[in-house]
Structure formats: structure tokens, C-alpha cells
Amino acid sequence: MTYTQFVEKEAARIGLDSIAERIEKNKGRSALLYCHDDPDGIASGIILKRLLKKKKVGVILMIPTNMELPKKRLVDDLRKNPVDMVFVLDKATMGYYDDYADIHNGIIVIDHHPLLGEPLKRITVSNPVLDEYRRCSASFVLHILASKCGEAHEAEDIASLVGLMGDWAIEPATDDISDYVEPFYESVKGRYGWLLEKIKSRPTMFDVKQRKKTTLLSQMTEIIFALGGGGFQYFYNDRDETLREITDGSFALRNLEAYLEKPSKFESENDFLEHLPEKERAKKMFAYYKEDWECTASKMRDAKLVKTSDNTDIFVFAGENVKLMPMVGSVELYTLPAKSEDSLFIMISDKGTKGFHFSFRSKKGLIHCGNFAHNLAVSFQERYGLDNAAGGGHPCAAECRLIKNFPADEIMNEFEKKLAEI
């Protein structure tokens, strides 16, 4: 199947045809875009922003620091910015989003995460994994939409590759390409061979199964991850005065967006940094990122095997204010002394006044990380309130977060109860 054929078939299956029609009907009007602050969310925001502008739709783009979109945030933003459409990009598909239809009648969710909660019936959702799980990204869904609208060009191609790389749907260094995205990948790999070619260089956060080779796409995506806080708000504004106002993913978004306006080849991660308009601050942030990576990696080597269940060895690591925890853990997972068919690495960071963060990484997902994280989050929500905890994700990667400082012994007791149930 060619990618053009795939677009026609998939756009109809997941409702992108009707979304394209709604965009056409809203020329001259306005839209509010929310996107996640990881590479996929940032790439998604850029693709849709470019599409809407070409379709003469005004755009307000926001990058909330939390994964799910809270009701209060939506209400407050719409009060200040009345718009005709609201897009929620790469920010989970939550059953309670259906209630947001009472707030605005033009909400559109574009996502790739498994549904958590009841199916959505009152708002528009385009998500290719609602019927069965497929490795993909929200930016890839946006690329299908842009293609359907006749507006997928070089910038959209590269942005989608960044999103797919950032969410582990493609791994060119090992030729691991999701079946679902293969028609797209096959259609672009000839044009972007320079990005996808295997090279010997510093391994990135995406080179988890092997550390001997990487790609320029991996390096580019890791830089965007570092500049955007990685979806977990790892910023460096407390270390350098010139970075003081960088507190969300907008820095990464505007630098990637500027590069994509006229994308050109680069030859290394340092060369890519030179292509960014705010390169001096970007270089500082990436240097801090690499320092933090090495520090956390050394600490995680103290992870302990706590139990074996469902042919899975479960290891736990806990620390305070652990930097870059999920990403480092994705690599360290493959160094754990596991003897069973699968490994599950659970990482815990006590962030003090900023709450708690639980991260889950698995090789095969025999114990579903997303379900574990979601069930843990529900137990916290029941104790501390819906707005104070969130959790969920994919079979092999998930997060659970508390955003306030609750008693550590209570939090760990809840975690240990859920762990005992496995």
C-alpha cells in the first residue's frame, strides 16, 4: 500500500476526513491548540499550526506542563480567548474529556494513547489505537491530516519523523519500524536518508537496545527533548541567569519551528544546535542535560529486584529530585540483571514540594505499564482529588504523577499495595 492510499483509507477510518472539512469551514475564524511538551507533542503543535495558518484559521498555541488537560485550565483559557475550535494534541484520550462538551462545542482530540475511562461520545476524537494498540505518534496522525488537506511538505515530514522517533514508533538505528507507520516511512526514507542513516557517534536516549550506533534523527529528537523539558519539566533556569524565563516547552517549539521553516542538512548534534535561532542558550541547556544524564545513570545502578510476577522481574529505584528519570531508566532497563522473560523497571522520584513522580519501563509489556500507572493514579485521585494526580501510558512506558507535596509514607503505602496486587 502506498502512503497516498494509506492516507485515504486511514483518514476515513479515524475521522480525519470530517476534521479536514471542519477546518475548511472555519476559514477566517480562530482555534486554540493545546499540545504536550515532549517531542511528539511539540511536533504535533507545529504541524497543525502550519496547517491552520495555511487554511486562514487564526491560531493560539499553548503548551501546558501537565500531561492531561485540566477542566479549570480549559475554562480559564477560553474565558480569555474565545475561539471557534479547540484542539487537544497528544494529551491523552481521557473518558472525562466528554464532560468538556459542556464547556465548548468545538473540541477535537487528536491522540495516539490508549483510552483511559469510558469511550468519548460527545466530543470529536481521532485516535488510531482505540480499537487496537498500534505504535505511532500524534504527529503522525497530524501528518495524515495535513496530507489529506494537501499540505504535507518537507517541514511536516521532518516534524512527523521527530514525533515518531520521540515516541519510539521508529528506530532507524536498528531498523525497528512500526508496521502501522511503514507506508509513511517508506515514502520518505529516500528523501531523508541523511537523517536516518546509521552513524557511529554518542548514543542517545533512544538507543536503548544497543549503544554502538545512532542516527542524526535520534540526535535531533534528543535535543528537542532536552530543550522542551522532555515532557517532565526538566529545565535549567535555576543554573544560569540566561535561562531564567525558560519554564515550558515553548522554547523548544519555537526553535524547531524556525528550523523547519527552511530545513537544511546538518552533520552532527552540534551542527544541528548551530542551526537553531537561539543556539547559545540551546547549547547551554543541552550541556546541562548531558551532565544530568550521567549523574542519574550512576544512581540507577542501585536498583533492586523486588519481586517476579507474570514472567517479569520487577526492579525498583527510588531517589529525591531525580533528573531525567524516565529517559535514563529506558536505557538502564536493558542493563538490569534480569533472568525472566521480561523486565519491569519502576522508578520513583520524591520531588519535595512539587510532588511525586513514578515512571514505568518494560521490555515487552507483559505487565502493562500504562494500566499500572493509571490504577496507581486513580488510587491517588481517590485520596487527594482528581486534579492532583494523573497517570497512564503505553504497554512498555508509562508515568504517574502527583503535583503537590503529600505525605511520603502515604504515597509509598499506596504504591506498595498496587505492587502487591501484581
Instruction: Say if residue 230's pLDDT is above 80.
Output: no
Instruction: Say if residue 234's pLDDT is above 90.
Output: no
Q: Which helix (H) or strand (E) holds 29?
A: none
What's the gap between Cα 179 and its chain centre?
Answer: 20
Residue 386, pLDDT score:
83
- Are 224 and 166 a contacting pair, CB within 8 Å? yes
Q: How far apart are CA 37 and CA 44, in angstroms?
A: 10
Domain 3-152 and domain 301-421, same fold? Reply is no
In the predicted model, what is the mean pLDDT of residues 168-178?
96
For 129, the grid coordinates are 489505537
Residue 232, pLDDT score:
73
Q: How far apart are CA 81 and CA 76, in angstroms?
A: 9
Residue 42, pLDDT score:
97
Min mean pLDDT across 19-23, 122-126, 143-147, 207-211 is at: 207-211
Q: Give the CATH fold of the 3-152 domain.
A: inorganic pyrophosphatase (n-terminal core) (3.90.1640)
Question: Model confidence at 116, in pLDDT bands (50, 70, 90)?
Answer: confident
Residue 403, pLDDT score:
87
- Are 325 and 318 a contacting pair, CB within 8 Å? no
Q: Give the CATH fold of the 301-421 domain.
A: Diaminopimelate Epimerase; Chain A, domain 1 (3.10.310)
In the predicted model, what is the mean pLDDT of residues 174-200?
97
What's the gap between Cα 111 and its chain centre?
Answer: 10
Instruction: Count Cα neighbours of 326 within 13 Å in the Cβ-side half-sphere.
Output: 24
Give domain limits for the chain.
3-152, 159-296, 301-421
Three-state DSSP state, 46: helix
Instruction: Say if residue 124's pLDDT is above 80.
Output: yes
Q: How far apart are CA 31 and CA 28, in angstroms?
A: 10
Q: How far apart are CA 95 and CA 109, in angstroms?
A: 11
Q: Cβ of 61: how many Cβ atoms within 10 Å? A: 20
Residue by residue, DSSP assigns 353-383 as GG-EEEEEEESS-SS-HHHHHHHHHHHHHHH
Position of cell 469551514? 25
